[in-house]
Each structure stands twice: as C-alpha cells, then as structure tokens.
Amino acid sequence: MNIRKKIMLGFLCLGAMLAFSGMISTFQLRRLSRNTENLLNSSIKSIAVSKAMLDVSQEQNTSLLHMIVLGQTEFDSTFTASRIAFGKALKNAASMAESNAKGLDSIYTARDNYYELIDSFFHTPGEKDIEWFMQMYGSSYMALTSAIKNYMVASQHITLSKAESLERYAYRAIIPGIITLCVAILLIIVFAFMMETYYIRPVERMTKGLDSLLKHRFPYNVEVEGNDEIARLNDQLEELAALARDRIKE
C-alpha cells in the first residue's frame, strides 16, 4: 500500500469514528432535550392545574360563606360556576397524573366529602344548624385544600426524581463522545509515531546519506524497510549513487 493510500485510510478511519460518535451524541442529546422539555412542560402543567384547583376552591369557599352566613343567594351562580371549573381542573389533572394517581385519589375523596356535606346541608329540609355546618365545613374544606397541596408537592417530587434520572442520562449521552475523542487522540498519537518511524526518519537518513555522498564521497548506504514509495525512492537513490561511482571510476 502506497503512502497516499495509507494516509487517506488513516484519516478516513478517524473521520468515520468522529462522524459515528457525533451521530450517537446528537441522537442522545436530542432525546435528552425532548425528555427535558416534556418534563418541564409536565411540571408547569402540574403547578398550573394545582393552582387552578386551589383558586377555584377558594372561590367556592367565598361564595358559600356569602350564601350561608350573609344569606346572599346571588352567589349561588358563582358557586355553581366554580364547581364546574373545579371539575374541569380535576379532569385536566387526571389526564396527566399517571405517575401521581395516589395524590389524585386523595383529591377525589376530599372533593366527594366536601360536596356531599354541602349538598346535604342545602337539600335537607327543616331548620339548618349553621354552627354545626361551619364546624364540619371547615374541616372538610381544609381536607380538600390539603389534598390539593399534597398533590402539588408530590408532583414536584416526581419531577425532581425524573430530573435526577435525566442528569444521569446526560452523562451517558456524552460518554460515547468522550470515548471516541480518547480513541481519536490515541489514533493520532499512533499515526504520528508511524509517520515519524516509517517516513520522516527514513527521509532524514536518506538526506544525510545523499549529503555524505555529495560532500565527502562517502558510499550511499541507507536501509529502508517496506515496499512503498520511500523504499522505492531509496532503491533508486542507491542505483543513482552506484551509477555515480561507476562514472567517477571511469
């Protein structure tokens, strides 16, 4: 194999390794980017849904107090609208709560108890014991808001756990690039050693042999191993030196 082919083969192998490593790293980083984006979107949606449920619960609480304590029945429509909005927010939470189903079940239970108490108060005939209702209502309302807050905290813990997994995945994503870079450096060192051993040093010896022949008429006696252009050039120089000696003798 001639010098040009050897050099081209070395650079092609190095380029192929770098290209393969680049493709793997690009694929892994794109996958990491998508997972990170999905994680952030999931976290933002979880916080938004939890905040919406808390806001609607607060709105329901305000409307209910106006209706029961102050007797302002015009807040009935506000309470109904808030109840519908809470159902929608809970439905949105259910659509993204595969990994936090336990927290969502707590909200469902607290919501059912909360509405059951309210419905029983309004639909039970006879005199209404407001003091009893307010005592029971307070604990029911606190249970509902606590369930929502616990759901928010649990969702963020899940997000944190996934973020830690993504951090470990990020290290795995760059490992192929690091390994390829190390191998590429090693190949460059080997390539430089081979160039020094098989090409640069033989050329230096040939140069010194020619210099000794031309300046001091010393015999040209340089050995070069192999069968490439350098070895053939050395053979031709030996023939040229022998021809020069023959002419000098004549």
- Is residue 179 in some structural domain? no
Rounded Cα–Cα distance for residues 106 and 145 (Å): 11
Joined tokens for residue 54: 């808390």
Query: What's the CATH number where 161 sits?
Result: 1.20.120
Q: Is there a domain that residue 248 lies in?
A: no
Structure tokens at 247: 């002419």
In a domain, 4, yes or no: no
Q: What pLDDT was estimated at residue 79?
A: 87
Q: Does residue 116 belong to any structural domain of this protein? A: yes
- Can you state the angle between helices 3-68 and 130-195, rounded to 10 degrees? 170
Report the domain count for the chain: 1
In a domain, 222, yes or no: no
pLDDT in tens, 119-162: 888 777 555 567 777 778 888 989 999 999 888 888 877 777 77
Residue 129 pLDDT:
67
Pick out the chain residues at pLDDT < 70. Answer: 1-4, 6, 97-100, 125-129, 173, 248-250
- Domain assignment of residue 96, given as a range: 25-174
User: Is 137 part of a structural domain of the chain?
Assistant: yes
Alpha-carbon distance 237 to 43, whole Å? 76
Residue 89 belongs to some domain of the structure = yes
- Could you identify the residue written with the tokens 């059912």? 112
User: Which residue, chain included where needed, has tokens 């029945």?
Assistant: 73
Give the model's pLDDT for residue 112: 92
pLDDT at 250: 57
